[in-house]
Amino acid sequence: MDEIKFQERTINLAKKSQGMVAPRPAVGALLVKDGKIISEGYTKPRPGLHAEADAINNAKEDIKGSTLFCTLEPHNFTTHDTPCTEKI
């Protein structure tokens, strides 16, 4: 799978949260390691996780050295949770 396919998958993941997370954006995220998807996530309804944090939490293996694909730049400010940039 190439980068375009990975990004297309994040878009499909984001669609899972459409209509459930407003006013927050529907976001999808993937963690890829050695060319394979090791985890996926998408924005959950409040007080749920952002897509990036969801993908990190869903990982069943070490994410060190993996690449994050995401439909939106991770936030770097404190909300009700730790900024996603710190989790990454």
* Entry pTM: 0.85
Beta bridge partners of 28: 42
Please confirm, yes or no, whether 52 is among the known catalytic residues: yes
3-81 is classed CATH 3.40.50.300:
no
DSSP state of 67: E
Per-residue pLDDT tens digits for 10-66: 999 999 999 999 999 999 999 999 999 999 999 999 888 899 999 999 999 999 999
Single out the catalytic residue among 52, 61, 73, 86: 52
Measured distance CA(54)–CA(44) in Å, rounded? 8
| Nearest C-alpha neighbor of 52 from the set 76, 23, 30 | 30
What are the boundaries of each domain within the chain?
3-81
